[in-house]
C-alpha cells in the first residue's frame, strides 16, 4: 500500500535550481501583481505531494526595502516571501517609500522556510545601509512575511502537487536602483 512500518508514506527531497537566470528586475515597476515582476521558472518533473518547501533567492540589489519576492506554485498558489523589508506598507501596490536600505548580493543567497524564525520584515535591520544582508549580518534564513500582500505561508503549499512549473519572482518598487534576480532554487520535501 506504499506505507512504511508505521504506516506513513516515505518522504523524499526534490532539489531544483537555476543559478544563472540573470534577470533584470524592472526598476520601479512593481504594482502588486506577478505580471509586474521578473520570474525564474523552475520545472519539476517528479511526481509527489508537497510536505515542505524551502526557497532560495540569489539577487543583487542596492536597496532590499525596494524589493518584493514571491513564490508561485504549479497550482497557482502565491506566497509572498518578503515585501519591502523595513516598510510597514498599507497596500501591496508598490507606491509607498521606503524600506531598509541594506543591499542584497549574489554572494549571500537568502532562504525562506516556514520553520525559520527570523522575520523577513526585519531583513537588514541589524546592519547599516551600505552593508550586505546575509554577508554582513550572517542572517540568511528567513520566515516569510507577506507585509500588506495576501496572507499565506509556505505551509499552505502542503498537499499540493510538486509537478509542474514553479516561479520565484522579484519586483522593485522605487526608482533609480536596478537590481538583478541572479538565480533561484527550491528544496521540496515530498511524499509519493
Position 123 scores a pLDDT of 97
- Percent of the chain topping pLDDT 70: 96
For 5-17, write each residue's pLDDT tens digit. Answer: 666 779 999 999 9
152-182 burial code (b ≥16 CB/10 A, e <16): bebebbeebebbeebbbbbbbbbeebebbbb
Count of C-beta atoms within a 10 Å radius of residue 72:
18
Q: CA neighbours within 13 Å on the CB side: how many for 96?
A: 19
Place of cell 540569489: 58
Count of C-beta atoms within a 10 Å radius of residue 150:
10
Position 5 scores a pLDDT of 63
Position 6 scores a pLDDT of 65
User: Strands 141-142 and 110-112: what pairing?
Assistant: parallel
Non-local (6+) Cβ contacts of 109 within 8 A are 56, 57, 58, 134, 140
Q: Where are the domains of the chain?
A: 12-191
Architecture of domain 12-191: Sandwich (2.60)
Position 98 scores a pLDDT of 86
pLDDT means per 10 residues, the chain with 192 residues, are 66 93 94 98 97 98 96 98 95 90 97 98 94 98 95 96 98 90 98 96
Q: What angle do CA 175, 118, 128 make, to 5 degrees?
A: 45
Position 97 scores a pLDDT of 86
Element (H, E) at 155: none
Amino acid at each position: 500500500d506504499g506505507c512504511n512500518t508505521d504506516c506513513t508514506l516515505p518522504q523524499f527531497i526534490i532539489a531544483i535550481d537555476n543559478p544563472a537566470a540573470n534577470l533584470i528586475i524592472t526598476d520601479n515597476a512593481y504594482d502588486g501583481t506577478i505580471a509586474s515582476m521578473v520570474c525564474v521558472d523552475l520545472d519539476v518533473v517528479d511526481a509527489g505531494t508537497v510536505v515542505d518547501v524551502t526557497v532560495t533567492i540569489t539577487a543583487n540589489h542596492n536597496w532590499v526595502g525596494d524589493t518584493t519576492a514571491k513564490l508561485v506554485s504549479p497550482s497557482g498558489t502565491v506566497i509572498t516571501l518578503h515585501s519591502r523589508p523595513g516598510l510597514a506598507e498599507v497596500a501591496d501596490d508598490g507606491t509607498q517609500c521606503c524600506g531598509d536600505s541594506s543591499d542584497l548580493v549574489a554572494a549571500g543567497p537568502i532562504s525562506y522556510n516556514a520553520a525559520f524564525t527570523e522575520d523577513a520584515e526585519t531583513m537588514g535591520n541589524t546592519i547599516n545601509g551600505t552593508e550586505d544582508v546575509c554577508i554582513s549580518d550572517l542572517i540568511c534564513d528567513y520566515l516569510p512575511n507577506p507585509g500588506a500582500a495576501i496572507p499565506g505561508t509556505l505551509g499552505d503549499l502542503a498537499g499540493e502537487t510538486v509537478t509542474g512549473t514553479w516561479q520565484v519572482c522579484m519586483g522593485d518598487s522605487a526608482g533609480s536602483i536596478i537590481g538583478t534576480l541572479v538565480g533561484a532554487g527550491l528544496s521540496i520535501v515530498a511524499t509519493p
